[in-house]
Every structure is written in structure tokens, then in C-alpha cells.
Amino acid sequence: MNQFHADKIKNIALTGHHGSGKTSLAEALLFCAGASDRHGKIADGTTVCDFDLEEIRRKASVSTALAGFQYEDYWMNLLDTPGILDFAGEELSGIAAADTVLIAVSAKSGVRVGTKKAYETAKALHKATMFAVTKIDDKDANFYNTLTELKTVFGSTVCPVVVPVIRNAQIVSYLNLIEMKAYCYDKDGKAVEMEVSDLDMAEKEYRLDGLVAAISEAVAETDDALMEKFFEGEPFTQKELIDGIHDGMNRGLITPVVCTSALTMAGIDMLLKEFTLLVPSADEVIPVQAVSGEDVLALECDTEKPLVALVCKTVADAFVGKMSYLKILSGKISSDMTVINARTGAEEKIGKLYTLLGKKQTEVKSAEAGDIVAAVKISAGTGDTLCASECVASAEMPVFPHACYAMAVRAKNQGDESKISAGMQRITEEDPTLVYTQDADTKEQILSGLGEQHLEVAVSKLKSKFGAEVTLSVPQIAYRETIRKKVEAEGKHKKQSGGHGQYGHVKIAFEPCVSDELIFEEKVFGGSVPKNYFPAVEKGLQECVKKGVLAGCPVVGVKAILLDGSYHPVDSSEMAFKMAASIAFKDGMRRAEPVMLEPISTLSVTAPDENTGDIMGELNRRRGRVLGMQPVGKGNTEITAEVPVREMHDFAMYLRQVTRGMGSFIMTPLRYEPLPANLLPEVIAAISALNEA
């Protein structure tokens, strides 16, 4: 493969709502560019980018795929990202690695949640944006309604570049407003230039002058000289239009719109052409900021500078092991090169480097600034920065979405625990939005992610790649028990069975206190209980607080004071006093008004303004206490509340449904509070059933 320099590299993330036709569009682009020798279909499982078994089975993208290919004199890195909201972390990885974000919008369904989220993420990361209106050939498609909706939602920066010409409800040609030429496509997807009469018809039916004026106005905004020419009424040349849109895209002032049909290949060649003309090259984008010690560096996309490369994605590859996608921010990387991990300070030896076309890997010896390549068998994780020793600088990945949906993981087969642990470690390395931990209170293994499908895919990968089957269940709630009043209790353990007997006798006061652990004190006078038995009494109590008297939950907030007792010079022993302490504990707990405690968390929900009433009503239904709300910009409101963990397991699903995917939340452990009395029998029964199982 020829070595491409930064001015000839285009990095494009393909994003959009689920079902908008991203992967089909990627397939059509690759086929049209000659990178693929067949036009694959999602239904047949033959697309270049959806090559994972899970994606083929689901007929939907669940991870970001890299497809690098040459088109004319350019090297295009196309990153096909998932549109399902559960895999937002994968989309974020793709956008972070790209310089331009191409957002697919279905001409049937228009602007959806995924469209808005992709656009917002691109703008937040200062990426150039472009819309591709897909499925234009469908009988229910309406390009001009979709274009109007794009302008309404995203503003005047939306600029049509390729539009369809429709006659008798059929598309007769595609009009390139920059060239002012119309093209039709034969059954093989080959373009044929139309006669000038089609332009006359378009002028009559679509107010062509209005579309051209919209482009001219957008271009005029990019330069003072162009603005002056625009006000003087002079038309822009084709070169001025191309350069103006190109510059406007790079500065975030213009978002071009093209229309395509991945099925018929119509408009695909024009989209590739717009990539070469309008999309900014890797050396034109805003330099990435990196931190080196106390200094902040602007990393120039220059091969002559020291190497700085960002690990933007990690893949557990079945054949070559761990594979890391590297975005070369500056300098040059080559195989067998030794680099420094800026996060750990450790040296890293680069092995083989590959360009990727879906699952097809082509080995390369080196890659220059601006390119995206895959390195195998390196220890660095997603978000790490690999640097030359003379410039150790850390470039940050954007913050990944917070895992908000959790399930308990149990092995289907005994003895698979080690395979599960190793597999989960690899899967969570691959996906930073997945978290696999052990609950310190319930000792359950908890898998957390962004939704049901997210966890289902993780479990499916665990089985197919690592041979471990698990079941998912609702996690146990870490209830606790405590007391509400002070009592004194007596415990006597006396047993005679021939030879030495057993004798222990204690009087203990139990009272509430503020502590997560048992507090033990002794106030024994006169030697009624010898000092050498005090540790045995405390040990007996410490064993008892592991299981309370209501439902066998850990006991907190209890202070035990040893007051009195008696002993036998022959029959007393540490074991006897442990037993006596246990008897006193159980008797005292029953009489000290024991209560169950449930965990309470702080909840912070961000949602569109129109949904706040529904959400607050739902939180009240879930026994939450709303503490306040405040606007957070862009038509969103943040609601803060205190909520019982017991009621919040499926809140992620509720919030996604009511906000159509636009809401998000973070829940943080806060404290424990008494469980309402009406729920006590239900909780005790559930815990008892679990213990019996």
C-alpha cells in the first residue's frame, strides 16, 4: 500500500439513528470505490462492516468497524458506528477517531434521537458534520420534508448540495447544486449526465434559485470577500463554492446535505466526490490538545513531529488477540518501534501494524500523522496515549457514557468462574461502558452497561468467544438491620456432659449508635467476667452481627457494652463465652425494636424540559424525594432526587422510553434509611426464598 500523507487522508465516522441505513451506505461506498468486489447486504450477513457473528445474527451494528480504502488520490478511513443507543460508547469511539461525522438520515423517518445525539456529540468534539439522506428510493421517502426538518432542527448551517429531481412521484435525476449538473443512474448504478431541460424543470418545480441562494449565503458567511461579492449580487464560481463549503465544514459553519440510495447506488459516486472536495483532510482540522507535565500542547498533524498516538478503540480479536485502533495525532509510527504509554509511563513495543477493511487485515510497516491503523498485542487500553520518548504527552478521549443498567451474573456450569472472569476482563477492555465488579455487600458479580441489549450482547460474546455461559438476574439489594432502642440482655450457656462442662454467663447492654461496624465496650467491675474472656465475648458478637434477627442481613449501628456476668473456674472457656454472647445478642436484638434498612442513592437526571413532569411523577411513584431542578441548557433540565435503590432497577428503561432516548442519569450511593413497614414481609420473604435457593 502506498504511504499517504495527512493532506490526502480523510477520516469519516458514519453515524445516525438505528435503521437509518449507515452500514448499507458504507457497503455502497466501498463497492463504488472498488474496495469491495461485491455489494453485500445486511439481510444476507455479507456486508464488510457488520462482520461480527453477533451483528450478523441481529442484523444490526453493535461495534464500530474500520474500513480503510483508496479513492482517487485519497486514503479514506470510514468508521461505521452503531446507531442503537445501548452502544453509544462505540459511536463515541468512532467520532473521537474521525475528523468528519457523516450522519445518515432516513428519508422515510426523518430526524430521530440518534440523529440529534450524533450531531451534538460531533459539535461537542469540534468535528466537521455532513448529512446523507438515505433510502431516497423508498416509496414512502420524502427528501424535501426531511431537508426542511434538518433545517428546522439544526439551523441555517444546513446546506443542500445534492438533491433529487422528482416527476410523477419518481426520482428522474439527482442534481448537483455545485456543478449545476443533473445525473440519472442505470440499473447498475452508473451515472449518466442529463440534458439541460432537467435543470429547467427543477427550476420550475423546486425553486432551484432558492436552493442555490441558500448555498451562496452559507458560503458567504465563511469569508469577508465572499460576503461582499454576495451582497453585490455576483454569483460564485464553482471553485468558490467548493472552497467555501470546504472551509465552512472545517470551521463548523456549514453542514452539507446529499441524498443517496444504497440499494440502487444512486448518488453514491457523488458522495465519494464530495468526500474528496468538501471534507477536510487530516492536516486541516483543529490540532488536538495534549498535556505534557504542566504544559498544554497543540499537536500538529505533522510527520516531522514526535509521535503521539491515541488508542481510540480496543478489540478482542479471535485470531490475533488484542487489537488496538490507533489515531496518529502527530509524527510517524512503525512496527518494532518502542513507545511510552503516557498514562503508565511504561515502555511499549509495537508489533505488527495493519490497515483494516472490516475483518480483512493488511499489514503495513508504518503509518503517518492523520492515519488510523490497528496495532496488535499491545497492553495499552482505550484512552491511552502512546508517545515517542522525547515528547510524552497525554491526549484525552471524551468521557464515555455512565453505565446505568445492572444485572447479576451467575455461571450456568460449575467451574466456569475462571473463564467468566477472564472473558469479562477482555470484554470490558473492549468496551469502556461495560463494568464488571463484585458487590462488596452481596458478593454477587455485577455486570453494568447502557441497557438490556448491551448486556445481552456482552453475554453472547462471552459464550461465543470464551466458551462460558452465564445467566442474568436482578441484583440483590444490600439490606441491613439495626435497632431503635436501648436494652439489656442476659446470655447464659451452661452444659454438662461428663468431664469438664461448659459455662459462660454475660449481661450486655445494646444501644443504637452511628457506625457501620459493631462497637464493643466493657464496664465490668469486680472480676465477674475475667479479662481474658473479653475477646471471646466480642468475637461472639462480631459473628452475630453478620446476620440479623429479621431477615439475616448484616447488622449496623449497634453498640454493645459488657456489664456483668459470671464464670466457673473449671468449666468456663472462650467457646462458652462466645455462645453466651450469641444468646444475649439474639435476645437483645428482638427486644430492641429491630428495623430493616434499605440503601438510598442520590439521583441526577438530565432530560428534555417537556418530560420533567412525567419524570418527577415517576420518581414519586418510586418513593423518591425530588430535591430540586435546574435548567442545563439546550432545552434540558436536571432533576436531583434521593431514591431507594430497590425501586430503581428498571429506571434506565423507563427514562429511555419516556424521553425517546434523550435522557440520562447518574446514581450515587448516599446512605441507609428504614424500610417502610408495609414492605417488610415482602422483603423478608424474598430474602428467605433466595437463601433457600
Choose among 260, 262, 255: nearest CA to 278.
255
Q: Which helix H or strand E contains 420, and what residues bound it?
A: helix 417-430
pLDDT, residue 189, reads 81
For the stretch 32-60, pLDDT in tens is 999 999 999 999 999 999 998 899 999 99
* 198 band by pLDDT with thresholds 50, 70 and 90: low
pLDDT at 2 over 70: no
Choose among 245, 229, 271: nearest CA to 78.
271
pLDDT, residue 320, reads 64
Counted residue by residue, the chain has a size of 693
The residue with greater pLDDT, 170 or 345, is: 345
* 21 band by pLDDT with thresholds 50, 70 and 90: very high
Q: With beta carbons less than 8 A apart as the criterion, state whether 261 and 136 touch.
A: yes
Residue-averaged pLDDT of the chain: 91
pLDDT at 173 over 70: yes
- For the chain, helix, strand, coil in percent to 5 are 30, 35, 35
pLDDT at 203 over 60: no
pLDDT, residue 633, reads 81
- Give how far the C-alpha of residue 119 lies from the chain's centroid of Cα atoms, to the nearest Å: 16
pLDDT at 201 over 60: no
The arithmetic mean of pLDDT across residues 133-157, rounded, is: 92
* 387 band by pLDDT with thresholds 50, 70 and 90: very high
The arithmetic mean of pLDDT across residues 515-534, rounded, is: 88
* 596 band by pLDDT with thresholds 50, 70 and 90: very high
| Residue 432, number of CB atoms within 10 A of its CB | 21
Q: Residue 440 burial by CB count (10 A; 0-12/13-18/19+): exposed, middle or buried?
A: exposed
pLDDT, residue 3, reads 77
pLDDT, residue 293, reads 84
pLDDT at 576 over 60: yes
pLDDT, residue 214, reads 82
Residue the block writes with cell 510497516: 365
The arithmetic mean of pLDDT across residues 553-572, rounded, is: 90
**What is the pTM assigned to this prediction?**
0.89
pLDDT, residue 199, reads 56
Name, in order, each residue with C-beta under 8 angstroms of 532's C-beta and a sequence gap of 6 or more.
none
The residue with greater pLDDT, 498 or 395, is: 395
As a whole-number percent, the residues of the chain with pLDDT over 70 amount to 97
Side chain identity at 502, as an amino acid letter?
Answer: Q
pLDDT at 686 over 80: yes
Side chain identity at 50, as an amino acid letter?
Answer: D
CA torsion 293-296-302-305 (nearest 10°) is: -30
pLDDT, residue 317, reads 64
* 126 band by pLDDT with thresholds 50, 70 and 90: very high
pLDDT, residue 195, reads 67
Cell numbers given for 53: 457473528
pLDDT, residue 568, reads 86
* 205 band by pLDDT with thresholds 50, 70 and 90: low
Determine the Cα–Cα distance for residues 281 and 285; give it in Å rounded to an integer: 7
As a whole-number percent, the residues of the chain with pLDDT over 90 amount to 72
In this structure, is the dihedral angle defined by the CA atoms of residues 644, 649, 653 and 656, taken in order, positive or negative?
positive
Residue the block writes with cell 472457656: 573
CA torsion 107-112-117-122 (nearest 10°) is: 10
Q: Output b/e per residue, 599-610; b: 16+ Cβ within 10 A.
A: bbbebebbbbee
- Give how far the C-alpha of residue 561 lies from the chain's centroid of Cα atoms, to the nearest Å: 51
* 691 band by pLDDT with thresholds 50, 70 and 90: confident
Structural domains in the chain plus CATH codes: 6-162+239-277 (3.40.50.300), 288-395 (2.40.30.10), 405-473 (3.30.70.870), 481-593 (3.30.230.10), 597-689 (3.30.70.240)
pLDDT at 215 over 70: yes
Is residue 159 helix, strand or coil?
strand
For the stretch 59-90, pLDDT in tens is 999 999 999 999 999 999 999 999 999 999 99
pLDDT, residue 216, reads 87
For the stretch 446-490, pLDDT in tens is 999 999 999 999 999 999 888 899 999 999 999 999 999 999 999
* 634 band by pLDDT with thresholds 50, 70 and 90: confident
